[in-house]
Structures are given as structure tokens and as C-alpha cells.
Amino acid sequence: MSRGLRVWQDMEKEQETLRAWKERVARELDRVVAFWLEHSHDQEQGGFFTCLGRDGRVYDDLKYVWLQGRQRAGSCLSLHTGQGSRAHRPPSHGGEFLLRYAQVAPPAKKCAFVLTRDGRPVKVQRTIFSECFYTMAMNELWRVTGDARYQSEAMEMMDQIVSWVREDPSGLGRPQLPGAPASESMAVPMMLLNLVEQLGEADEELAGISAELGDWCAQRILQHVQRGGQAVLENVSEDGEELSGCLGRHQNPGHALEAGWFLLRYAIRRGDAKLQAHVIDKFLLLPFHSGWDPEHGGLFYFQDADGLCPTQLEWAMKLWWPHSEAMIAFLMGYSETGDPALLRIFYQVAEYTFRWFRDPEYGEWFGYLNRDGKVALTIKGGPFKGCFHVPRCLAMCEEMLNDLLSRLAPASALSARPPPAGPARPGAE
Amino acid sequence: MSRGLRVWQDMEKEQETLRAWKERVARELDRVVAFWLEHSHDQEQGGFFTCLGRDGRVYDDLKYVWLQGRQRAGSCLSLHTGQGSRAHRPPSHGGEFLLRYAQVAPPAKKCAFVLTRDGRPVKVQRTIFSECFYTMAMNELWRVTGDARYQSEAMEMMDQIVSWVREDPSGLGRPQLPGAPASESMAVPMMLLNLVEQLGEADEELAGISAELGDWCAQRILQHVQRGGQAVLENVSEDGEELSGCLGRHQNPGHALEAGWFLLRYAIRRGDAKLQAHVIDKFLLLPFHSGWDPEHGGLFYFQDADGLCPTQLEWAMKLWWPHSEAMIAFLMGYSETGDPALLRIFYQVAEYTFRWFRDPEYGEWFGYLNRDGKVALTIKGGPFKGCFHVPRCLAMCEEMLNDLLSRLAPASALSARPPPAGPARPGAE
């Protein structure tokens, strides 16, 4: 067999595998979207039910605000990508509910963490996350409906969030205690970078204004690479040093991987190849290799950078979202670099994920597995799991797989180069 | 063989089993106390290290206040029971540290949840529990040292706690939200009843004054028996009705069993046989039978009263403290009633506990097992586990086993009656 033929056969095989995954992912996205469309809409009182059992039955009618915002944003997301045409096109369901009830004591911007079915606040967190998902939802609603009221809500809330993070956190209600170290959780700049990217995507003027904020977020996230580049730590001091004790040693591989693809998009947008390589090395490969369970497969939820036992009871459990984030991160890494090692890891994570998290019977994924892969909680939605990570992962992977296939298709049988590196997503330049 | 001989042989066998358990428990108590004495005392800055790894090494020097108070109280407890003579008699170590640093902003009484090694507050919970364990420690210190300063601290804090619980919780710092149902966690009256019992034990005048408070606590705990007596629910409405959703269906078998022996002591003290029977039925047998894992043994951590999947990730894990509380509860139930069914359950729980939680290598028990009994976390101490439940359980069980054996010893070989029912603990009348 000639070398040319072998190369051609290899490429054919690779295309076949990619195509098979694209089809698998597309079918799964349809099933997942159908699950949430069928079970989560509260037709009487607005908003979304988020506490759904294995078969979609509502086991609690509380409405968690992170998930109200995320589902609202996620349903819109599926309209940007190809999904809108295939799936049932959702109305602006959920947006008015959020607008009306999320804020606990307007005009103050603090949002509830959870609401009763009819919108009365039950609990408020002393963090920025409800507000971030609110902003995300409002911005997405504006993009879909064109209603300026939504965008002005998004921008006002964004200003408030930035002010809490960069100027004065006292409005969040957490007391400043003399023994609490001034620390930064990676979740905060990570979440902000994600918002900046989303808000800038649809608004060029805003993209310019928020460039400084994006740079600030990226720099803050990068400070979490510690120990001479050997570990991503979830919490560091305000000036980027390792903190003492469990807080300082705490690692969250899923967060590192999620931050990884946020940073990767940021590097692509800036055309910064050096940063891109650094991000793949430190935020994709490092947490994957240290966070993957060598015995049972899957990513640990938490780890201790010194290899000590974490104090969180769930540290060795396998959660759905680190796996969906890893799928996005490695497929994005491969799309940009053509490095086959990244594609192999995508396949490894996707195989594990589809084998253990998917529920072939009722649709949507299980969220919580024991270390050995057995289902620990049968719920499909709960206080922290809703219509967000799974459809976002599947929609983004479908889009990336489509792009990869369309780039591979016209390749000459004899030019055995990998798919072209560089910005590949539409509008990513 | 004559009937008399058979009965005599049965009784001999029962005494042998009780004696074997007494010795096992006593040896284990020595090992457990030795572990904490060796590893937890901070000789430089006072107080106790509470974050200890499997072999006792300090993996974080934060000092959790629940455990500062509990260890202080527990070390004193071992002086009341026979342990003081056997184990190293601890000095009043830890008391001054608590007195000096626990309160966040004196003269306000709110205590920290966790302190730095040198006593600066890191975190404050919006509950009464740090304050309860502080009170317990101060009262115990007074009983051991006779220093009136400790008792006046205990009494002042107790007044504050009662005022937060019965009059105005606003000082705890939790905002009142219109969607949050006015609910009561069983932990609150349970903890208060325990304090009332402890404070009254050593002070007859106080026992009289606090009788009303004890009655109130007992009535509030009893309200958590719901569904026509078929379930103990962890949260009920202020007026004793079932709450909707997960909050209302939430069950914590370990808490029910712990409340069980608090109530049992209360019933014994009052000589209320009807209440005693009710408590054994509803707070011992009911949670044991519904909470015991039929597949792997051990008590589930959380359950849903409708049999739905709980939303807590750790719901199916086996924690040390529900098992130590169950050992106390069933041995106390047997001591008071002579019902052999209760003794059989004590043996069942104790066998499971000694098999899976004990660490024969380094001493003290593991705290957190997977559903199948395998160790999930190797730590011996952490934010919620310290020198408290295990030594309390072992010291109380040793004392009860001693009492049972001394009551059985003079029994005639031909009078085959069970050990005498009724108040058996010294001072319990």
C-alpha cells in the first residue's frame, strides 16, 4: 500500500469518527432539549421548574435563580447555533419571571438564589452568581427579541457586578472578618470573563469598552497557575500568592477546564498564540492529567494540591459539568491547533460521559455519580443542575464538529496536514 | 437439660456478650482519647487543632469553634465518668482560648464558626450552634475547675441563645425573606434540650428554673413526628405542620436517634413511662428501621420521606456520628426497658460501627464512608468532626454496660427475668 493511500485511509477514518460523534452529539442534543421543553416550563406562573426527577416529574416547585437565568440564556443560545431550526423554538418564556422577581429589594440589584413558584425570595447568596446568570439571560433575550429593555437591564446589572468585584463587595452582605484572608476564588474572574465575552459578541461598541475588563479577568485567572506552573489552585491571595491550609490547596479540575475554554476563546479573539499554548498546557492538559481518576475514569470533583484528602464529602464523585466542560475545552483545543493528542482526550472524555452520565431511558443526563461511575442521585435537575451545561456542551460540540468536518471535506487525499490552525469559529476573529 | 439450667446458660451467655462489649468499648475509648491527647493540643497558641489526618498530622491549623467547645466539654465529660482515672487527665486546656477568642465582637455574644490558629475569626454562621458548644464547654469547665467565671459565661450565653430562639432571631444575621417559610429545624430544640439537661445536671436550682425550657424543647421536638406517627421530619412549620417540597420531606435518621436519647433522658428524669415508650417507638425504632441500608448495612445520612432521591450529594454515605448516636440510644433504651429487641439493635449497630469506622492502625474512627462501607475520606478531624461524638459514645456506653453488668451479676440462676426496667443511671431519678 502506498504511503499516500495509507494517509488517505487514516483521514477517511478520522472523518468517519468525527462524523459519528457529530451525529451522536446532535441526536443527544435533541433529546436533551426535548426533556427540558417537555418538563420544565411552568405554564401557569411563568419561569422554569428546576427540580426534576429522573423521568422529568417536578419533585419541588422552588425555582433556583442560577438555573432560571441559565435556562433562559441556554434556550436563546440554541437559536444562535443551528439548534433553533431543529428543535422547537422556545418563546421568551422565563424572561419576564426573572425581570419581575429575581431582584430581592429593587432598586438594589441583589438577586435571590431561590424563589417560590410564584416568585417570592426564599434565600439570597452573598456572591455574584445569581446576578451573573441574570445578566446572561437578559443579554440573550435582547439578542433574540431586540427588546432594548432587556439589554439595559443586562448592562445595569453588569455595572453593579463589576463594582462589587473591583470596588466594594460590601453590598453582597458578607462581613469582613480579621482572620479571613483577602482571597480570590477563580470562579469570580472566570464568570466575569464569560460575561464579557458574551456581551461583547453581539455589540462591537461594548466589545471595545469591555476589552480592559476582559484583560483584567484573564490576568486574574492566570494568577491561579501556581507552584512553578505545576498546579491550578482554585483560591489565591489578592496579589496572586498561594494561601495556607485547605483553602489554598483546593483544586477543582472542572473549573480549571471551564476557565480553560473561556481563556482559549479570549486568546483566539486576541490572536495571541503564545497565550493559547500556555492555556492548553496549564488549563487543559494539567488539570486533565492530575484530575482524571486512573482507577475508574472520570474527573474527580475536588482535589488537594498536596495529594491530601479533601474535606468535602463529595470530592471523589463524578459530576456531569466538569465532563461537559472538558468536552468543550478539548474539542476547542483541537479545532484551533490540530493537535491529535487533544482530539484523543476529547474522545476519552466523551466516551466516559456518554457511557455513564447519559440516561437512555428518560433523556437528559444524570448529574452525580459515585467514584465508580454508578448513579448516586437520580435527579435530572436540582439546586445546581438545570438546562444549561449539557445543552451548551452539546450545541457547542456539534458546531465545532460541523466546522471540523467542513474543513476536512475538501482536503486533498495526498496533503496529510491536520485541520488548519487559527481562528475557526465564525465571528471569532 | 432442665429449663432452669437453660435459662441460666442463656443469662450467662448474655452476660458474657455484654462483658465482651464492655471491654471492647473501654479499650477503644482509651485509644480514641489517646489519639486526641497526642495530636490535637496546640501547646503554643492554646486551643485544639481540629483538622487531623488519618495518622493525626495537622493538615490545616484552622480551629473550628464547634469542635473547640465540644472537645473542651468532652474532655471534662471523661472526668465525670470513670475515664478520668484511666486516661491522662487533661488540664483546662482550650478553655481560655475559647473565652478569649470565640466571640466575634464582644460584648455582643455572636461566636465565630472558625478561627485562625491565633484566634482571629474567619467565618461566622448565622445559627446558634457555635454558641451552644461554647456554653457546653464553659459549663463543663466550671464543673471541673469550680471557677465561677466559666459558669457565669455559660449562663449569659445560654440566655442569649434562648432569646434568639424564642424571642428574636434577628441578631443571628439571617434576613427574613417573604418566600422563606417560618420553619423549625429539629436541631434547634434538640440542641437546647441537651444544654438544659447538661446545665441542670450539676445545679439543682437551675434545674428547677429551666424545667419550663426543657418542656418547651421536648414539645417542639415531638412536633417533628409527622404523617400519623409514620415519619420523623427534620423541618416542620412553626406551628408543627409538614412543610412543602424537599425541605418538608427531609429526614436525618442520625438526628432523630440523637434526639431520641435526649428525649429518653428527659422522660426518665420526669418518670414519664408513656413518653418513654413513645420516644422508643418514634425516635429509635422508626428511624432505625427506615434509615438502615438493607443492602450494605449502616444508616443513610439523609432520606426523603416520600422515598424520592434527596438532593444532597452525600445522602447515601455512612457518617460516624449517626452510628455513635444510635449505639447510645439503643443501649439506653435497653437499659431502661430490658427489651431484648433493643439490645439486638445495639449489637447490630455496634458491630457495623466497629467493623467499618474503626481505624485499627492509627486510632480514632474514620468519619465518612461510601454507601458500601469503604472509607471515602481518610481524615480523623475536620470542620465538623473532632473529639466529641466518638468519646461521648464510648464513655456513655461503657458506663451503661457497667451498670447493666452490675445489675445482672447478683441475679439468681433461676429467676429468668430481664434486667430491671426503670431509672438506672445514677442521679436519673
Compute the average pLDDT of residues B189-194: 96
Q: What three-state secondary structure class fits B253?
A: helix
CA–chain centroid gap for A165, Å, is 20
- Least confident piece of the model among A19-28, A342-351, B1-10, B113-122: B1-10
Task: List, for residues A166-218, the tens digit of each pLDDT value.
Answer: 999 999 988 889 999 999 999 999 999 999 998 988 787 777 778 999 999 99
pTM of the model: 0.92
B182 touches chain A (CB under 8 A): no
Read off the C-alpha cell for B191: 440542641
B62 touches chain A (CB under 8 A): yes
Higher confidence at residue A78 or residue B13? Answer: B13
A379 touches chain B (CB under 8 A): yes
Per-residue exposure over B289-326, b if at least 16 CB sit within 10 Å of its own CB, e if not: ebbbeeebbbbbbbbbbeebbbbbbbbbbbbbbbbbbb
Q: What does the pLDDT read at residue B90?
A: 54
Q: What does the pLDDT read at residue A87?
A: 47
- Give residue B70's pLDDT band: very low, low, confident or very high (50, 70, 90): confident
For residue B345, pLDDT over 80 is answered with yes
Read off the C-alpha cell for B203: 445545679
- The C-alpha angle B116, B118, B123, rounded to 5 degrees, equals 25
Q: What does the pLDDT read at residue A70?
A: 83
Compute the average pLDDT of residues B151-171: 94
Give me chain A's average pLDDT, please: 90
- Give residue B1's pLDDT band: very low, low, confident or very high (50, 70, 90): low
Per-residue exposure over A364-397, b if at least 16 CB sit within 10 Å of its own CB, e if not: bbbbbbbbbbebbbebbbbbbbbbbbbbbbbbbb
Could you give the residue ranges of the DSSP H alpha helices within A112-171?
129-145, 148-166
A319 membership: H or E segment, kind and range: strand A318-319
Pick from B121, B175, B370: CB nearest A179 = B121
- Angle formed by the axes of helices A129-145 and A65-80, to 10°? 30
Q: What does the pLDDT read at residue A335?
A: 98
Q: What three-state secondary structure class fits B277?
A: helix
* Long-range residue pairs from A262-267, CB within 8 A, at least 24 positions apart, any chain: A262/A190, A262/A193, A262/A194, A262/A197, A262/A221, A263/A193, A263/A218, A263/A221, A263/A222, A264/A329, A264/A332, A264/A333, A264/A336, A265/A197, A265/A332, A265/A428, A266/A193, A266/A197, A266/A214, A266/A218
Listed by number, the residues of chain A in 224-253 with a beta carbon closer than 8 Å to a beta carbon of chain B are: 244-246
Residue type, A208: G
CATH code assigned to A181-357:
1.50.10.10
Residues of chain A with pLDDT under 70: 1, 74-91, 410-429
CA–chain centroid gap for B372, Å, is 24
For residue B409, pLDDT over 80 is answered with no
- Least confident piece of the model among A241-245, B4-8, B163-167, B257-261: B4-8
Compute the average pLDDT of residues B234-243: 96
ipTM, two decimals: 0.91
CATH 1.50.10.10 domain span(s) along chain A: 181-357
What is the rounded radius of gyration, in angstroms, for the C-alpha atoms of chain B?
Answer: 21
Give me chain B's average pLDDT, please: 90
Pick from B124, B179, B370: CB nearest A116 = B179
**Do residues A264 and A329 make contact, with C-beta atoms less than 8 angstroms apart?**
yes
Q: What does the pLDDT read at residue B205?
A: 77
**CA contacts within 13 A on the Cβ side of A273:** 3
Q: What does the pLDDT read at residue B425?
A: 39
Q: Whose CA is closest to A233, among A217, A256, A258, A254?
A: A256
For residue B388, pLDDT over 50 is answered with yes
CA–chain centroid gap for B34, Å, is 20
For residue B414, pLDDT over 60 is answered with no
**CA contacts within 13 A on the Cβ side of A392:** 21
Pick from A309, A371, A375 the residue to mutate for testing the B interface (most B CBs within 10 Å): A309
Pick from A51, A310, A377: CB nearest B313 = A377
B53 touches chain A (CB under 8 A): yes
Read off the C-alpha cell for B367: 468519619
The label of the residue with cell 443469662 reads B11
